[in-house]
Amino acid sequence: MDSWEVPSHGVPAQVYDRLERNEPSAREKTQSAHIVPPTERGLEDGGPTDIQELLRSLQNGEDIWQEGIDDDPADEGDGADEQEYAQDRVHEISASGMFCLDGRPDIAETEKLRYLCEAVGETAPRAQIRESAWTGSAEVRRGCAAEPYILVSRGEDFADSFDARFFAKTFPTLFPYGKGGPRQAEECIMDAKGDGPPGFEAEAASQNLALSRNMSLEKWAELVLQRHGGRFAAHPVFAFLVFNIGVRSRNRRVSMGSVRKKNFPEVERIVRSLTAARLENAKVELEASGKTTDKDVNQLLRNLSLYGHRQPMSRESRLTMRRKIKSLIIRYGIPAIWFTLNPNDITNPVKLRLAAYRFREPSEAEAFLTSLDQVHKRVRLAISDPLSSAIFFHREVSLFFKHYVKTGEESVFGRISQYFGAVETNERGALHVHGLLWLQGNMHLSSLLTDIQRENQAAYRDRVMEYIDSVFTEDLDLEAFATVRAERSVTSDISSFLRNREQFAAVFEEEANFCAGATQIHTHSPTCVKYSIHGRGRKRLPCRFGAPWKLVDKTSMTEDGVLQIRRSHGLVNRWNKAMAVGLRHNHDISFIATKCKGLALVFYLTNYATKVEDPVWKRAAAAKELIQVLGNEVVQDHSNDGLGKAECDGRENRTRQFLMRVANRVFTERALSQVEVVAYLQGYSTEYASTNAWAFLNVCTLYWHVFR
C-alpha cells in the first residue's frame, strides 16, 4: 500500500471495515445513566432532547442516539499512538479455551468434535495433529483448522488457598518467577536451613526470618496493589479473589462462634425442618412485600445477618449507616443541607496524571500525557486503573470535608456542627457520596418556615433569605458561559488565577458561572422517564426530576408557605459557587427546610443515602439452592451420631457448614465494582462522619431505664 493510501487512524482496512459500534439500548440506558455530563467528559453537546420524543422512542422500543466518542476516522490518532494498546494483556480467565473470546474463529466442525473427544480422554491419533508447540502450560495447536487455537493444561488438582504458593500457581502472569504471596514461611525456612550451619540456632533464626516476612492477606494485597506498573490493580480477577478469600475467612470465624451460642440447638432444629418448597414460598413473599409469614425462615435470616455484620459493603453495614444518621438526628435535630458529590474520574487532570504515573516512568508519563489529544484516549487511561480511581475519589471527598465543611468553624455553608456521608457506586462502577450537614444551633430548623412568616420577624426573614442566596444557586448566564467555553474547557489549568488573590476574587463569579454551565446542566435521558415507561408516572411530568423547572424572580415565600429560590435557568441543577469553582465536577446541594413535609423528606433522604442493594429474598433463594444441592446431608440429626460434643458442635456440624455455605454464596455472588473492592483493600472507609465514637444501645433497655 502506498503512503498516500494509509488511513490516518492507522487501523488496517480489513479490520476497520469489520468494526461495529456497540451502543446500549434505550432500555439499558434507563438503568445506567452517566452522572458526568457529556460536556464535562470533553464531548460535544448535542443540544437538548425533547422529553416527549424520548418517551415516545422508549415506548416504541427504539434506541436513542446520544453523543459519544467521535468515530470519524479522520479524527483518530496515528498508528504510533495506538501501538501501546494494540497488544492486549493475557489474563488467565481469557487465555484458556478453544475459541478466541473477542471474535469468532474459523474452526471446522470436525476440529471442534476432535477437541471434545480429546477433552473426555479419547485422544485422537497424533498424525491428525500438526504443528504443535509448547509454551509454558499452553499447547498451541492448528490441527485441520485455518486458525490456531490454544489448549491450556493446568493440571488435575485444585490449588489449595492455604498453600504458601497459592497465588503464584493461580496467577502465573502476575508471578512470573513462580513464587510470591503473603505467607513465605516455607521458602524462608528452606533457604535458611540450606545456607546456615546445622543446629538449633540456625533453625530458630530461620523461623524468625520466616515470621518477619509473613503478613496478613489484606495488608499484602494493599501493598501489591500499589506497585508501580499497576499489573495487580489492573488484573480483572486478582482483587476479587483476595476479597472473596477474606469473605470466606470471616464467615468461617462467625460460624465457629455461632455454634457456642445458646440458641444454636434451635437453629439446628429449624434447618432440619426446612424444605425447598418452604424456602421458595418465603422467597416469593419476600420478593413481593419484603416480609414472610414463615417464622422459621425469619429466624434463619436473622442468623444469616450475623455474617453480614462482619462483611464490608453488606446489607447490614448499610443499615448500620442508617441507624447512625437517625441517631444524629435525635441528638442534633433535623439536618439542614443535603448534598451529593460525583467526582469526575474521566477527564480530571489529577486523576489522569495519577494513572499515567502509576503505569510509567516520570519522563515517559509526561510524554504520554501530552499525547492525549483525543477524548477516547483520556477515557481509556482513566478507566485502566481502578486504584487511581479509588485514591482520587477519597482524596476529593476528604479534602471537601476538611476545607469546605470545616466542622465547628466558619465555612461556605455557615458553621457546621456535624456531618455524615455514605459512599455508593453507580452502574458504571464509579464512586459517589451522599451526605447530610447539621448547622450549629439548628434545633428549631423544623419550624423555620413558620417562624419567618410572622409579621414581627421581617429582619429574621431577610437574614434567612440572604443565607439561602449565599449558599444555594439556581442561576446561570448562558452567554457568559458560552464566551468562556470558546476559550478553554472546565478541566483547564487555572493556576494563574490562584496566584493572585485579588485577580481570583475579580473573576470568581465568572468562573463559577462557567463551571456550573459545564457540569450542572440537566440533560434529559432515558433515566428521566424510567418510571413513566412503566405507566407509573402518567399523572405527573414525564421527567421524574421535574425538569424544566419554573423560573423564579426572587427568593421568597409563596402563599402556600413554601420557600422558593431565585432561578433564571430552567435546566440548571441547584449548585454552590464555591463548590463549583473548587471541585469542578457535578454536585447537588439542597436546603431541606425549603421542602414540604421536612420529616418525610429526611426519612427519604436517610434511606436514599444508604440504599440497600442486597434484598433479603436473594438469601432465601441461596438457601433453597443449597438445600437442593446438599439433599439429606443437611437434615441429618447429629444428636444420635455418636460423636463427641466438641466434634459435633465444631467443624463436623452440618448446620454450621450449611449456614457458612449460604453466607459464602450470598456475600461472594453480589454486584461489586472493581473500584469498590480495591478501595476496601486499600483501607478506605465507606462512610464519612464527624463522630467516630459510636455506642450501640438496646432501645428496650434504654426505655426501661428512663421509665424507672
The yes-or-no verdict on residue 203 having pLDDT over 60 is: no
Amino acid at 454: R
Phi, psi (deg, nearest 5) at residue 175: -125, 75
Q: What is the pTM of this model?
A: 0.74
**Rounded CA gap, 580 and 366, in Å?**
28
For 420-440, write each residue's pLDDT tens digit.
999 988 777 889 999 999 988
- Matching residue, cell 422517564: 529
**Regarding predicted confidence, which is higher, 610 or 121?**
610
Question: Exposure pattern of 304-337 as b/e (b: 16+ CB <10 Å)?
Answer: bbbbbebbbbbbbbbebbbebbebbbeebbbbbb
For 63-90, write each residue's pLDDT tens digit.
444 433 334 433 444 444 444 444 444 4
Return the pLDDT at 87: 44
Winning range, highest mean pLDDT, from 156-165, 189-198, 416-425: 416-425
**C-alpha torsion 66→68→72→78, nearest 10:** -170
For 602-637, write each residue's pLDDT tens digit.
777 777 767 777 788 888 888 888 888 776 555 554
Conformation bin of residue 150: beta by default, left when phi > 0, alpha when psi is -120 to 50: beta
Tell me whether residue 469 is exposed, middle or buried, using C-beta atoms within 10 angstroms of its C-beta: 0 to 12, 13 to 18, 19 or more.
Answer: middle
Return the pLDDT at 246: 92
Return the pLDDT at 196: 42
For 360-404, write each residue's pLDDT tens digit.
888 888 888 777 766 667 777 777 889 999 999 999 999 999 999
The yes-or-no verdict on residue 61 having pLDDT over 70 is: no
Return the pLDDT at 652: 65
pLDDT bucket at 682, cuts 50 / 70 / 90: very high
Q: Please name which of 668, 656, 618, 620 lies closest in space to residue 247, comparing C-alpha atoms.
A: 668
Return the pLDDT at 355: 86
Return the pLDDT at 64: 44
Read off the pLDDT of each residue in 537-552 and give the average, rounded to a whole number: 72
In 107-224 the beta strands, taken as DSSP E runs, fall at 133-135, 138-141, 149-152
Q: 615: which residues sit within 8 A by CB, 6+ positions away? A: 286, 287, 290
Return the pLDDT at 58: 66
For 234-280, write each residue's pLDDT tens digit.
888 899 999 999 999 999 999 998 888 888 888 888 888 888 888 88
Please name the helix (run of DSSP H) or strand (run of DSSP E) that holds residue 211, with its range, or none: helix 200-213
Return the pLDDT at 105: 54
Return the pLDDT at 60: 64
Determine contact, residues 130/123, Cβ cutoff 8 Å.
Answer: no
The yes-or-no verdict on residue 493 having pLDDT over 90 is: no
The yes-or-no verdict on residue 484 having pLDDT over 70 is: yes
The yes-or-no verdict on residue 4 having pLDDT over 50 is: no
Determine contact, residues 190/196, Cβ cutoff 8 Å.
Answer: no
DSSP state of 635: T
For 177-194, write each residue's pLDDT tens digit.
777 888 765 544 444 444
Question: Exposure pattern of 26-35 as b/e (b: 16+ CB <10 Å)?
Answer: beebbeeebb
Phi, psi (deg, nearest 5) at residue 562: -105, 135
Q: How many CB atoms lie within 10 A of CB 11?
A: 16
The yes-or-no verdict on residue 690 having pLDDT over 60 is: yes
